[in-house]
Amino acid sequence: MANRKPFIAGNWKMHKTCTESVETAKRLKEIGAGLTDIDIMIAPAFTSLYAVFDVLKGSNILLGAQNVFWKNEGAYTGEVSPVMLTSVGCIYAIIGHSERRSYFQESDELINQKIAAAARNGLIPVFCIGETEQERDADKTKNVLDKQLTKGLQDIALDDLKTLVVAYEPVWAIGTGKSATTEQAQDAHAFIRGKLNSILGSSMAEQIRILYGGSVKPGNIGELMKTPDIDGALVGGASLEADTFGEILKYRG
């Protein structure tokens, strides 16, 4: 894993009221105390961000948003800008999640604008890519990843991408209970790192952390993390219960 620090992130999606988010964050703060050998992030709903940030102050758990708009301000009803997110304590923003791509028709071009806007404003993009089951069955996985990476990072200044995090999430494994085998996941991660090498250069490609997302749970995180190119996990359902997420955070026993 070179010298890349492991990174475990929890995406709470459209779950938890503000009160529920605060209670879960309090418990995670207890669980995460002392876990200094990994980076930890949770991404509650927009409505809970500031309240959760208040709970997490002084802890080693960082705050992320589940989405971000590509302008800093303007007449864009319902959107949330990068500067708004940093103002409530966000360090990360998840961009290009498969649910945003499928339910809200987010294109590679739009995702590119969001990554650029986040990075310009000091938010670390967690850039999600991955293939559908049909694309995998048609042996198009690497073509899809190549296109998503190339278009997603197009024309963004290298300096703005120094902190980039990439999350490989095979769409067929998200919320389905299916998970890529360790070999499938490592193969995809190795391809992604090779592509990052060609886009950004070898030095940055070796620094960038690539997370696996797709039905990650306490029972499979250990094996995934033993591979050379998997640097962490973007966890969905299993991050909703603090104690279950805590087991994932403590994957090294």
Report phi then psi at 20, rounded to 5.
-65, -40
Cα 246 from Cα 207, distance rounded (Å): 26
Exactly one of 99, 135, 169, 189 is catalytic; name it.
Answer: 169
Q: What are the C-alpha distances in Å from 25 to residues 32, 43, 164, 247?
A: 10, 10, 25, 15
If you write DSSP's letter for every residue of 6-59 in order, what string do you get? PEEEEE--S---HHHHHHHHHHHHHHHTT-TTSEEEEE--GGGHHHHHHHHTTS
If you write DSSP's letter for every residue of 147-212 in order, what string do you get? HHHHHHTTT--GGGGTT-EEEE--GGGSSSS----HHHHHHHHHHHHHHHHHHH-HHHHHHSEEEE
Exactly one of 20, 97, 106, 206 is catalytic; name it.
Answer: 97
What three-state secondary structure class fits 64? strand
169 catalytic? Reply is: yes
Cα 225 from Cα 89, distance rounded (Å): 28
Catalytic residues: 97, 169
